[in-house]
Structure 1
Amino acid sequence: MSKSVSRRVVLAAGLAAAASTVAVPGVAAADGADHEPPDNPVDFRAWSSVADWHRGRTDGVKASGHGRDGIRLGRPAGTVDYTDPHTGTTAAWEYGTWTGPWHELRFGASELVPSWNADTPAGTWIQVELLGRYQDGGLTPWYVMGRWAAGDADIRRTSVDGQGDPRSTVYTDTFSIDDPDANRLTAYRLRVTLYRRPGAEASPKVWRVGAMASHVEDRFEVPASAPGEARGIELAVPRFSQNTHIGQYPEYDNGGQAWCSPTSSTMILGYWDRYPTAEDTSWVNPDFDDPEVCHAARFTYDYQYEGCGNWPFNAAYAATYEDMDAIVTRLRSLSDVERLIKAGIPVITSQSFLKEELDGAGYGTAGHLMTVIGFTAEGDVIANDPASPSNEAVRHVYKRRQFENIWLRTKRYNSSGGVSSGSGGVVYLYKPTREKWPKLTDRHAEVWGD
């Protein structure tokens, strides 16, 4: 069943469909027990070690422990033609696949967002797909969750519209159950296909692939968390404004006014001292300030969505920098954010709000990314907000209660008085590998699905 979805339906539509207040029975797990799910459960699982890769089925790819553990092409499984819908170019590609094992969930999920970390040298690219199992035992189709390359010379990175069956739909980068009261997802598996030009020696290498499955209940308000362990901590995250780029490179989502996601990604990468080189940004007009922001916009751009806000594409871009891990997941409260801030890890959050709902912002938005860099001694949120007139003006202090609510809710009233969706606690998390950042505890590692 094909479903045509406008690019501006975006993730909000999936989030709206995901909301439900009906209690769900526990899901029978591998041990045969019936487990009662926690409130607003979230499950993030990643495959990133040689042992993980061997748990899947390979056809034309091999697991490699040289450098970072990952999968790369061995003797390809075959050759296939691909017609790029955004250029009209048809080309032949060698390919191989890794099909992951079934991951059983301990609750019925209504939404899933994948993310991946990979290297795609010139002449290579990857595709990530999802197969889900419903509570009644039925299966989804294999859904394409992204066709991706770090560059844009070989293919145009793209999401795929028009995917769905009678019970689920893919909205850009988000799998969503259409009616969570009737059925939900109890398990899934991922498939990664690696492509290269026939006869070439270069290969993509994928070192992390995972997915965040969740069920966040319908809510206009969330309980307030108490200020905790990160009070008085502020991380030295560089400041970049998207608004200084208004009108620049309109071919990428109409220019800087829409670049909150790549601008936030640039701030976090800068914090980790991962900037593109001068050679990388040599294509940027030298009259433009902060070419790294323009660079991030170009290389996170989704040619189907026609925007830079594809969540896994931002994470994948961040992971192209040396020794970086990057995921898309959900957190349950600002207490979770505090735990990460205390470990030295800033957090990119997604929220939507009316002007009067966030004191000091000076604007309202149907969807916006900003970077939490710390907390005041009183527990209020310190955020680098890219929707600011200059780099110097990016740092803001927002009231804890207001910020937490606009970030965690799934329902809100819009400027017309109607009901719209919220992100339900979505975040991007970027950090160096665990070997490079030893502050991480096992509890932190759980967030990355390790």
Structure 2
Amino acid sequence: MPLVPDPTSTLEDAPIHEPQRTLVAVGVNHALHDGYTDLLYVLLPVWQAEFALGYAALALLRSLYNGALAALQMPSTYLAERLGARTVLVYGTLLSASGYALAGASGGLIGLCAALTLGGAGSSTQHPLASAVIARTYGESARGPLGTYNFTGDLGKASVPPLVGFLLTMTDWRSALWVIAGLGVVAALAVGRLLPRDRKSRREKQDQALQVAPIASGTQTGRAGFRLLVTIGILDNAARPAFLIYLPFLLQEKGAGLTTVGFALSLVFLGGALGKAVCGQLGERLGVTRTVVLTETGTAAAILAVIALPLAPVLVVLPLLGVMLNGTSSVLYGTVPELAPGGQVETAFAVFYTWTLGGSALAAPLIFGRLGDVVGPNWAVVAAAATALAAVPIMLILSAYLGTMASAPKR
């Protein structure tokens, strides 16, 4: 059997006796970066008014950030092979903070676009590296910690956007972004302090870089299952921004102000944080297939309810919608190590994040943004519900590739 390079030995190793410290470090980082990503939804109405933008242009602004985030997942992994995961995570966070600082200092739309792209480039570092560090630190018990890691991201989504909404009531959006950039610097320092340093020499890493490739996960069957998982992730990640881009405008049509919009988004993200924990447990009890079918179907039904209901009932529905809208991803992330081709978990995470985030970054402006300009926000959101439902038949096909313990309920 041929020997192949194993990327697990080239990333910075978290000492096995310090797993909690590692999880806290990457959790803080995840909260900051996910908050950075989703605070854009609060700012879209502000930028629409200031720059007279259409829905497609607004979706493009978001996609500049998310496109850079997605496109640089693999390069971030390769960079970490040379510099170490800890170093790349810290400097990536500082780069994201710099992006928002420059956005606040920008004098026009072109400068804003460049700053958002820079911020997205910084955020590209955290998903594959942090997930791989957790998977390596906890080994076969990583599904639970990965769910906790995803949960911390939603805490950032639930706190940073409403914070920006609150700041917008007291100051202009540029000053608000400078405050947010300052939080990024603090988070980078915290990650540098908490995340354990690499305690192995470069020679030791090189000596471990050759190992026997696993058999089962490298088969064509394993690769086919991984491709199906990625496809489901693309649809799930496309449905989420397709809905969230238009949510502020749907709420404004129902009479909501900017503060209410920020509060409503926090309800969605709080529900999403709960969903990461709840759906992770559901995945253990009901199995991956049943859980994904339940969450994607529920997402579609709740999105349609948001369109039909008045403002007050919508605010009640949003937390439940958040549970299902974000909960699916926790189940999918936890399945990546099981289906990783060749057992190369870091590479599998990087590929998964590249395609799922990249797919949503392209779908937002090219499909859903354009659709909103043509048929209006309501029908664009209906299309988002249909996208979530499209994941259901693919999940049913994927169930045949999963082990019986993953697809059958546990007793």
TM-score (norm 2): 0.30
Write 1 or 2 for the structure with the bigger share of strand. 1
TM-score (norm 1): 0.29
> Which of structures 1 and 2 has the larger relative contact order (alpha carbons within 8 angstroms, sep 6+)?
2
